[in-house]
Structure 1
Amino acid sequence: MNKAHRIKKNTEFQNVFNNGKSYANRQFVVYLLKKENQKNFRIGLSVSKKIGKAVKRNEIKRYIRQAFHEMYSYIDREYDYVIIARKPAAEMNFHQVKKSLEHVLKIAKILKKDYFKGNREEILD
């Protein structure tokens, strides 16, 4: 995921927190803020030191970026997303992280409906 797809500045994070909506499950909190005329979605990641050491935090961030990369064509592009990982995310592998993010994005009604068609197993309810 290139740098045009990332939120890096504190002011941008605060804008999403203060003006956006949040959705959560046990592993992640996702904040969304609609941005008109934005060509690509942007994501910001927050993984606390409470979750683990740098290696574990970076692994979780890699998993989240890869999950968004795989869901790229099914995600609404006019949004900024801030994803906060909670403690249970430290025990998850990539497939579990992706499934959990699918669950939160389904709750937020961000994933396009055709994402769940086909041979995919039903995600968490």
Structure 2
Amino acid sequence: MNENNGIISQPSSYSVAETIDRLIVALQAKSITIFARIDQQAEAEKVGLRLLPTQLLLFGKPEAGTPLMVAEPTIALDLPLKVLAWEATDGKVWLSYNDSDYLKQRFSLSDELVKNIDVIAPLIHQAFSSK
């Protein structure tokens, strides 16, 4: 689709764990369900592999996501929404997520439906605006 393959990545001034912690607080304040938090570094260590800090957060609101799945069932491959906090080899922490415009194009969604999932950027701003 474009040079970033529909993924938005922005730097975080916090550790991977604190980045996800802050995002969880912002999501819960909006009554958005946290479905899973996966510590991929810990899972790699369980099988004797090394991975820099990496955590994946799955979240959403069934009342927001269900209409999208009714309109286009295959969007369930990208729902619930996800954010990935990860540490690069230079020590910088990044927060990455799917661009809602990418999902709109990928699944031919209407503007009205995209509003249901266009919540990540404002929540990230909220979670990281006060350091």
**Structure of larger gyration radius:** 2
Common fold: TM-score over 0.5: no
State the TM-score, normalizing by the size of structure 2.
0.29
> Which one has the bigger strand percentage?
2
